[in-house]
Amino acid sequence: MDTLTSLRVFAAVADLKSFAQAADRLGLSPAMASKHVQHLEHRLHARLLNRTSRNVSLTEAGALYRDRVRAMLDNLDDVEAQLAQATVTPRGVLRVSLPIWIVNRTLARIVADYEKAFPEVVLDVDFSGQIVNLVEEGFDLAFRSSPNLDKALISRKLSPMTFALFAAPDYLDREGRPSSLADLEGKPFMAYTPVADQGVVRIPRGEETRIIRFKPVLRSANEALLLLAASEGMGYCFLPSWIVREEVTAGRLERVLPREIDIVVPFYAVYPNRGYLPAKTRSFL
């Protein structure tokens, strides 16, 4: 039995905690995946995995072996990738996780341009809004605007992302335009639930932070719904500036207090911790 294949099978089972999922990823049957792990255990005279009918977990010896095996496989993949890099053509399925608020014509244009440049790559894009586990769920790449990134992943800062306050011009004509942050207290607000579920928003101003307490009239984790609700005149909403450009240009949304409110967060690409990037991932970045 090929020991290198057995090592790859063991690493996949250890990552996914499932023989079935590991076998599916590697194109094997679950029975063959189990034989590969048994082959390693026989060579080492040690049990690497605890198996029950419901789950798989690492033994103490298995955890130690997994760390060493993973480092070895990453180094091997790195060497192979470097040797082939000059001739590799991006191909295959590229699984990407993106926040739903990034969906607009600019993103569609990026995707279309990429497909023209690299027609052998199929983009599989997830907009579920969930923070996916790249390794366990088989994703190649994710994009996130969060200060709390998984330290086990490689992160590359792409650009700053500005979040600003918007409302419909009709709403502002009817209710009046605020002239200061104090004028926003108690105003109707479309709340993004992961950040401001209760309508309490912290505005950084130099070394100080100003707290505004809006009145939530809509709560949702779907930024697209919040954008549409704001353009219908329901009240105020914080949104990434670049996705509302068309709404602002069309006169459906207006930025509020631009000199007072300007929240900037970094936007990252994150990918599994390995010594190289596959051609499909590198080309998309």
| DSSP helix/strand/coil, 221 | coil
Q: Are 145 and 99 in contact (CB under 8 A)?
A: yes
What secondary structure letter does DSSP report for 236? B
Q: Are 265 and 148 in contact (CB under 8 A)?
A: no
Q: Tell me which residue has tokens 């955890």.
A: 63
- Select the highest-mean-pLDDT range: 197-206, 218-227, 272-281: 218-227
Q: Residue 145 — very low, low, confident or very high, per pLDDT cuts 50/70/90?
A: confident
pTM for this model (two decimals): 0.60
Looking at the chain, the whole-number percentage of residues with pLDDT higher than 90 is 36
Q: Which two tokens stand for residue 157?
A: 């800062």
**Spatial CB neighbours of 80, under 8 Å, sequence gap ≥ 6:** none
Using CA atoms of 13, 16, 20, 25 in order, give the dihedral in degrees to the nearest 10: -90
d(CA 154, CA 269): 8
Rounded to an integer, the average pLDDT of 94-115 is 87
d(CA 144, CA 97): 9
Whether 77 shows a pLDDT value over 80: the answer reads no
Q: Which two tokens stand for residue 249?
A: 């240009």
Angle at 24 between CA 36 and CA 51, to 5 degrees: 50
d(CA 116, CA 84): 23
Q: Which of 84-93, 125-134, 192-201, 260-269 bottoms out in mean pLDDT, i.e. has the lowest? A: 84-93
Given this model, what pLDDT does residue 273 score? 64
Given this model, what pLDDT does residue 87 score? 54
Burial class (CB in 10 A: 0-12, 13-18, 19+), 32: middle
Rounded to an integer, the average pLDDT of 23-33 is 89
CB-based burial, 144-168: b 16+ in 10 Å, e otherwise: bbeeeebeebbbeeeeebebbbbbb
Closest CA to 267 of 192, 147, 161, 163: 161
d(CA 94, CA 123): 5
pLDDT per residue over 250-271, tens digit each? 999 999 999 888 888 888 888 8
Given this model, what pLDDT does residue 74 score? 78
d(CA 13, CA 63): 12
Q: Which comes out higher in pLDDT, residue 74 or 19? A: 19
What is the identity of the amino acid at 18?
A: S
**Spatial CB neighbours of 218, under 8 Å, sequence gap ≥ 6:** 190, 191, 225, 226, 229, 234, 235
Using CA atoms of 196, 200, 205, 209 in order, give the dihedral in degrees to the nearest 10: -110
Given this model, what pLDDT does residue 131 score? 74
Closest CA to 175 of 260, 256, 263, 250: 256
Whether 1 shows a pLDDT value over 90: the answer reads no
Burial class (CB in 10 A: 0-12, 13-18, 19+), 18: middle
**Spatial CB neighbours of 4, under 8 Å, sequence gap ≥ 6:** none
